[in-house]
Chain A
Amino acid sequence: MSDVDVCEAITRVHHDEWARIVAALTRRFGDLDIAEEAAAEAFATAVERWPADGVPPNPGAWLTTTANRKAIDRIRRENKRDDKHREAQMVYDDPPEPVGAIDDDRLRLIFTCCHPALAVESRVALTLRMVGGLTVPEIARAFLVQGTAMERRITRAKAKIKAARIPYRMPSADDLPARVSGVLAVLFLVFNEGYLASGPGTDPVRHDLTTEAIRLTRLIRALLPQDGEVAGLLALMLLIEARRPARVSASGELVPLTEQDRGAWDAELIAEGHRLVRERLAAAAAGAAPGRYQILAAINAVHTSARDVRDTDWSQVLALYDQLVRLDPSPIIALNRAIAVAELDGPEVALAIVDRLAETLAGYHAYHATRADLLRRLGQSRQSRAAYDRAIELAGNTGETAYLTRRRDQLQ
């Protein structure tokens, strides 16, 4: 086997097995630091040994065993042997716990990393590190934070988990829906940061983050296949990700949905997203009330069903937004709903809705961009220009700034 093959094998195993190994070590040793460091050491050992010895027949088991040894070595070295080692041995000697589909170690790890007692930024960082296996510098880069600051954030979060005794277990049945929605919120944050990356000098789309968010959501979906919102979020991400190839022009400008080359969309991702949406529609028909991710996914399914933008079923989009507004009466949802209203009832009606949001959304770039577009369609160039100016000022995404600037400069 060539070094390239070994390298690929390690990358693949890292993707597939990292979370499982960290999660199993956390259960056995009750300590996130030990689990993370031992897992990292095991992979480092694989990088050293596999090119010479060959990839073992069961790489996951090899890594788990190696990581377990590394953890015990570490505990001995750190002279915590008496308590921790005995504790670990006791866990090891216990008959294995019955593992139901829901009691997966990785799921416990995700719930621990996304615990509501941690700050949202810490949840995101910890999930990417412990479950996603991203390195601290990678996470720091993704969120435009200094490496040392990100290291501190993760260290603090782990220290709080230990000191406050945030448990490593599945939430109880009555806490589960709230806790799952917290996990989904973290994954959607990661996805959105990838999809509309912020900061000057950043690529407008961070493929690594969207891919990671989708991978982790697939993992949750595998662990909680009955959860409608998990399916909804996965469908939503897939249908947005499918449009990525058409989303940035050759010159680095963001291309809005209505102007994208639909032939460039990823048909496979769309098909998978549509399958999930149909699955949830069937569940809704059987009486399961859909949550916000399922409705957002359905809206995206309508958009991705139209081969040409003129075929878009805007009344269906509006009906779904009406449903969403009842569930989540946030001004941002109202703003997006107004875009559908503009298509059905004209820009004037939409502008009246948008203007009512002025107070709450004054600092939000999309509010000004939407207004600018509606004013442009109404021929009010001067006001449109002012709205574009404000949107450009507030937009953090390089591709979006480029697009808005061109639209403004086209105004008569």
Chain B
Amino acid sequence: MRYLVSVIDDKSNPSSTDRQPAISAFNERLIAEGYWVFAGGLADTDAATVVDNRGEQAVFSDGPFVESKEYLAGVWVWEAPDLDVALKLAAEASKICDRKVEVRPFL
């Protein structure tokens, strides 16, 4: 079962410290224990462009599709046998990157 783990940051109360070394160590462990599928950090929402080509021509607009103080800062994709395993890892992940995370199963 694959789970998308979204890392949620908060613009008004951002995670302050540099978590990269701890996150890298955690990722090494995910790989070693067979849970790792993919992960990546995302650039700030200021760098986002929304594309809408449902009409006559493609419209490009600057910025994220929704403005909110909470935004997606990065994602993991994990392979885990069930939600309990995923939640246990997610609890660690939240502590390690000092942010909220959301766990959602793939269909």
Name A's B-contacting residues (CB within 8 A): 115-117, 163-167, 171, 175
Q: Is there a chain A Cβ closer than 8 Å to B74's Cβ?
A: no
Q: Is there a chain A Cβ closer than 8 Å to B75's Cβ?
A: no
Inter-chain contact A164/B84, CB cutoff 8 Å: no
Contacting residues, chain B, for A116 (C-beta < 8 A): 87
Bound form: Cα–Cα A175–B83 in Å: 14
With contacts defined as CB atoms under 8 Å apart, how many contacts are there between chain A and chain B in the complex?
24
Name B's A-contacting residues (CB within 8 A): 1, 81-84, 87, 103-105, 107
Bound form: Cα–Cα A163–B104 in Å: 9
Inter-chain contact B84/A167, CB cutoff 8 Å: yes
Name B's interface SS. mixed
Bound form: Cα–Cα A167–B81 in Å: 9
Beyond A163-B107, A164-B83, A167-B81, 8 extra complex contacts between A and B, CB < 8 Å = A164-B104, A164-B105, A165-B1, A165-B82, A165-B83, A166-B84, A167-B83, A171-B84
Contacting residues, chain A, for B103 (C-beta < 8 A): 164
Inter-chain contact A167/B105, CB cutoff 8 Å: no
Bound form: Cα–Cα A280–B59 in Å: 70
Bound form: Cα–Cα A103–B36 in Å: 31
Inter-chain contact A117/B1, CB cutoff 8 Å: no
CB distance from A67 to the nearest CB of B (A): 25
Bound form: Cα–Cα A175–B91 in Å: 13
Nearest A residue (CB) for B87: A117
Nearest B residue (CB) for A161: B83
Nearest A residue (CB) for B106: A163
CB distance from B4 to the nearest CB of A (A): 11
Contacting residues, chain A, for B87 (C-beta < 8 A): 116-117
Contacting residues, chain B, for A166 (C-beta < 8 A): 82-84
Bound form: Cα–Cα A164–B1 in Å: 9
**Which of the residues B81, B83, B107 comes within 8 Å of A117, measured between beta carbons?**
B83
Bound form: Cα–Cα A166–B81 in Å: 10
Contacting residues, chain A, for B83 (C-beta < 8 A): 115, 117, 164-167
